[in-house]
Each structure stands twice: as C-alpha cells, then as structure tokens.
Amino acid sequence: MTLTPRALIRAAALALPLFGASAFAADKVNVGAVGNSGDVGFYMAEAKGYFAAENLDVNFTVFDSAAKMIAPLGTGDLDVGSGAASAGLYNAATRKIEIRAVADRGRTAPGYMYQTLMLRKDLVDSGRVKDYPDLKGLKFAVAAPGVTALSVMNEALKRGGHTFADAEAISLGFPAQVAAFQGKAIDASMMVEPFATKLVNDGTAVRWKSTEDFYPNDQISMIFYGEKFAKEKPDVAKRFMKAYVRGARDYNDALENGQWAKSAKAEEVIAILSKKLGMKPELLREIFPHACDPDGRLDLASMRKDLAFFQAQGLVTNKDQKIETILDMSFVEAAVKELGPYKK
C-alpha cells in the first residue's frame, strides 16, 4: 500500500509522543556564572532535570564578576549572564549594546545575613573601627570596577557622615579578597557567601554589619539575557526562564526565616551546591543563604538607587538614563504565568 503525503504527515505526528523531546537536538544555551552560592537557581535547574525537561543543553562558564560578561553577552558568545548590575551595563545600553535584566538572582531581605560589611578582625579588636564614622580612610574591596557594591559602600559611608571619596575602593574578585584580607592588603569588603563564612572561620575578618542595617532590600544580583538570545531565540529564552524559576523555587523551599531549614529539601540543595562549588557540605550548612524572589521579581527601587549613584559619580555618562533601558520582565512573567504563583 502506498501512503499519500497527507497520510505520511499524520503518521509522523502520531509517532511524536512516542519519542518525546529527546528525539530532537537540544537547544544549546551558554550561561555565565559567578561560581558562588548565588548560582543555586541554575544548579538546581540542572541537577533536577528542569533544563533537560525544556530540551536545553546548558553550558556554564565561570567569570569572577558580571561586569566581565558584558562583552560576550553583547556579541552573542554568551546567551545568559548573572551577577551584579554595573555602570558598564548602562553604558553599554547607551552604545546600543542591548543586554536585558530579566530576573532576580539574589538580594538582601530582613533576617538574611548573606551580604555583610566585613572588616579585618584586628581593626575591630584594636578599637580602630567601632562605629560607622570610623570607616573613613579604610580600603574597601569590591568584586569589579563599577559594580553596585560601590553604591552599597557609599551607603555605609553616608551612615558615618562621610562621602564616597572619604574611603578607597579597589577591585578584586571574591576569592582574591580572601587572600587580601589574610595579607592585610584590604580593610573591608561588601562580602557574600561562602567567602564570608570562610573568613570568619579563619579568624581573619568579622561580620561587622549586615548590609540590611544601612542598605535594606539591596538587589545584589540578577539574571541577564543578551539581546541576540532574547530577540532571535525567544522560545528558548522562555523555556530557560521556566526552568530557572523552578530551580529558584526549590531553593526557596529549602529556607526558613533566612536560614537553611532542617529538612530533606535543604540537604538536597546543599548536596547539589557542594558538588558544583567543590565545597564541603559542612561548610555550606554554616553559610547564610541569600534571599531570592521565587517569582523572579527584581527590586526596582534598589536598582534606581544604584543607577543614581553611578550617575552622580560620573560612572554612567548618560544623566537621563533610566533603569527601564535594561529591564525586560516579560520572560519571567511568562514563566510564572505558566507555572502559577509560588506556593512554599
């Protein structure tokens, strides 16, 4: 019997469910990660099979800051980036290198100690630093030039009655900051986990103040899409976001009141982070988790504050620029619509 073209098409359509998505080549997505516990949404989506369920082949490249992802995001060598916003991100938008901030990756919130103002232990023990006015003249480290940690540093100095120029800022990746604290090459840092816990355990530095004390609800980091990825592969970008939100929700399920919950879910998340970060589970249980919106929402007030700081310091040249030039919440909104609102 000879089948007509229409019959062949119908037979192929009926056979598709038998093979599923695995019968088709997975869509490749190149992702820039920072290599700290803030990447947990990515790692959960990978380990739990959420990327695979969306037929995605996700490849990670670790950078020491999001600022260094801007160029490859602009060229399309990276599809997805992650980390703190930076002056360079806004300046790139002015040059029509469009990179979109698309979802929350990590923030501070009441009860969370993930991001702290770390001081060298000897400065505190000696009485050199007792309160905010004593921050004048200190050497602060931030992860990269022009990042939002500079704005956080500015808020701490303002609390002591100082201006940003009253302290020194140098750029060092977080792993290098650990060595710099040990060698007394820096005095202070806006430090995140797991590096903060390592410094405390080494007796090198102390958690002096949570940044919630002087800069509440700080939008520490976010997820970025390159323009080529968002515009040329919107379906892939939507599927990636759906998988990421599922991973972020698993992470939220592992938390209770700003701490790791005493639960199987928390142990699962810690085990996955241990494998991806090459850190012992015992250390990871000690760290303070970050807050992350389970529906991916960004804190726009914090972003506006940071942009205003960049503009005041001349780090962003366009004085009329708004955060809306880099915002695109359509992908996370589509993901939440499909998944439904988060329920713990």
For the segment 93-130, what is each residue's pLDDT rounded down to a tens digit? 888 888 999 999 999 999 998 999 999 999 999 999 99
Give whole-number Cα distances, 164 to 118, 182, 306, in Å: 17, 25, 13
pLDDT surpassing 70 at residue 310: yes
Query: How confident is the model at residue 98, as a pLDDT?
Result: 83
Residue 10 lies in a domain: no
> Which domain covers residue 206, as residue numbers?
116-213
Examine the domain organization and report whether 235 and 90 are in the same domain.
yes
- Give the end of a domain, one of 213, 232, 248: 213
Examine the domain organization and report whether 229 and 100 are in the same domain.
yes
Query: For the chain, how many structural domains are there in total?
Result: 2
Query: How confident is the model at residue 87, as a pLDDT?
Result: 92
Average pLDDT over residues 287-309: 96
Query: How confident is the model at residue 23, as a pLDDT?
Result: 53
Instruction: Round to whole Å and give the CA distance between 144 and 153.
Output: 13
- Give the end of a domain, one of 159, 188, 213: 213
Residue 180 lies in a domain: yes
**CA–centroid distance for 225 within its chain:** 13
Q: What is the pLDDT of residues 183-195, one digit of tens each?
A: 999 999 999 888 8
Strands 221-226 and 255-256: unpaired
Residue 16 lies in a domain: no
Q: What are residue 16's phi and psi, to 5 degrees?
A: -55, -45
Examine the domain organization and report whether 152 and 95 are in the same domain.
no
pLDDT surpassing 70 at residue 84: yes
Cross-strand pairs, 224: 81, 101
| pTM of the predicted structure, to 2 decimals | 0.87
Residue 3 lies in a domain: no
Residue 61 lies in a domain: yes
Examine the domain organization and report whether 223 and 335 are in the same domain.
yes
Query: How confident is the model at residue 8, as a pLDDT?
Result: 43
Q: Could you tell me if 66 and 292 are in contact, meaning their C-beta atoms sit under 8 angstroms apart? A: no
Residue 17 lies in a domain: no
Average pLDDT over residues 5-29: 56
Examine the domain organization and report whether 224 and 331 are in the same domain.
yes
Amino acid in the structure at residue 106: G
Examine the domain organization and report whether 224 and 317 are in the same domain.
yes
Residue 14 lies in a domain: no
**Confidence bin at 168 (pLDDT 50/70/90):** very high
Amino acid in the structure at residue 129: V
- Give the end of a domain, one of 185, 213, 241: 213
Average pLDDT over residues 245-259: 96
Examine the domain organization and report whether 120 and 84 are in the same domain.
no
Q: What is the CATH number of the domain that holds 296?
A: 3.40.190.10
